Amino acid sequence: MKLATIVHGEANDLPPLIIAHGLFGSARNWGVIAKRLSETRQVIAVDMRNHGDSFQDADHSYPALAADLARIVAAQNGPVDVLGHSMGGKAAMTLALTQPEAVRRLVVMDIAPVSYDHNQTGYIDAMEAVDLTGLRLRSDADARLSAHVDDPGVRAFLLQSLDLKAEPPRWKFNLTALRDQMSLVTGWPEIPRGSFAGPALFLAGSESDYCGPTGAQAIREYFPQAQLRSIEGAGHWLHADRPAEVAEIVADFLT
């Protein structure tokens, strides 16, 4: 079981950077930031399991996602630097905490090592409700999805993972597995605290509520060397809201 990847830049003496996207995302979402960071090192953006062109599996727990990342690290003769956003951030944290020797530096975007009360199955309902029959244009797909999702930004994000070239068109998600395992996606596994002593950077959007006081406390307990930084004017998808600023902050931290 192998993850699909998009590789930016050439391997050199610096450790490669692995990028793990969030729920309903893909490696393609990170093109701008990956290109900037690949100026100094190789960047490997992955499609997480049950997303994009990677394999599908009924298990979508964080230990499973971390094991997927660990196989990529092993192929690079690690350790590597790892960046994860949201779901990918939890997978990256799980990897760093359970296999600290695999991670040199850790970057986590807008997520904390805690369980959340929100549930994202509404987006699964919306995608499953769209009639994909005869779709050829993304504009038509957006019009159909708009009946179920009001926010045009969210629609554009989800539609990046609609394969209109397939016959019939299809969502590049394992929606069944993601629905069944949603409590694990929004939850957090039992992992000993303080077991990753390496450098860690946690970025949060100032307009997001994913990293409040409880989350910040948990971050410091799990990652005693963590730096916490807020990105002004950014929401949960801070890498899309402030790509240039985020890329420069990450590049500075990694070097």
The residues that are catalytic are 86, 236
Query: What are the backbone dihedrals phi and psi of residue 23, each rounded to the nearest 5 degrees, phi first?
Result: -55, 135
CA distance 107 to 251: 10
CA distance 150 to 133: 21
**Both tokens assigned to 239:** 């890498």
Residue bearing tokens 């039992």: 190
Closest CA to 124 of 63, 175, 163, 159: 175
Is the C-alpha dihedral spanning 189, 192, 193, 195 positive or negative?
negative
Residue 50's region, left for phi above 0, alpha for psi from -120 to 50, else beta, is left
Q: Which amino acid is at 248?
A: E
